[in-house]
Structure 1
């Protein structure tokens, strides 16, 4: 019988909260302070976690550089994460840029500009 909340989802939520806290407070790289963890997807066996992040920058080169730095620091983050969360095995982390926030912001700007043009007419 299936329960209401899947274990992988609970672990993903736990990792998302802990990673957001770690990136904000414990990491020395200032670029990580501009990172928001938008979601975490964990494999069924809890061995790998794909961490979706958005970055508060507009330049694609800086965004790619920040995500690359996150992936380089993944082992260190995993070590710190193991101290924060109570899991037998902490999953390997892979950081991926989440474009949905930037895309939504662009659509919102387009809607706002269309509304302004409509009011002027």
Structure 2
């Protein structure tokens, strides 16, 4: 099975959906921040490993605590995946912190700030 095959893409999406559900509803670890999102999942073609890209909307300390909480809950999540998704192998989960959402929010704020400055400058030019 090729890495970007239709079957692998479908498995990635299904694992992502199940992990999102587990993190939101099943895991009761207080270290895991409520604004935690599963951004993407890459399951290896042999189904033995999965990279889980996680985004946490919060500060660095909250990201660290969430990472530790997810790492400690990985065996529980893996067992739940085995129950809900029928795969030949249930992948070992590796969590990777992804800051793309936070980066996008920061860029959006910067763009808004620049646009506001342009509008303010244009309105002051009209006043003169």
User: Normalized against structure 2, the TM-score is what?
Assistant: 0.85
Moved over 6 A (4+): none
> 1:20–1:36: 8 Å Cα contact kept in structure 2?
yes
Deviation at 1:33, TM superposition (A): 3.2
- CA distances 1:50-92 after superposition (whole Å, capped 9, x unpaired): 00011121x1121012112211211111011111111121100
2 CA distance for matches of 1:100 and 1:37?
12
Which position in structure 1 is the counterpart of 2:73?
Answer: 73
Structure whose CA Rg is larger = 2
Deviation at 1:95, TM superposition (A): 0.9
> 2:47–2:88: 8 Å Cα contact kept in structure 1?
no
User: Normalized against structure 1, the TM-score is what?
Assistant: 0.89
> 1:24–1:32: 8 Å Cα contact kept in structure 2?
no
User: Could you say what the CA RMSD is over the residues aligned between the two structures, in angstroms?
Assistant: 1.7
State the number of aligned residues. 118
> 1:48–1:93: 8 Å Cα contact kept in structure 2?
yes
**Structure 2: gaps (5+ residues):** 122-128
Deviation at 1:120, TM superposition (A): 0.4
Which position in structure 1 is the counterpart of 2:82?
Answer: 82
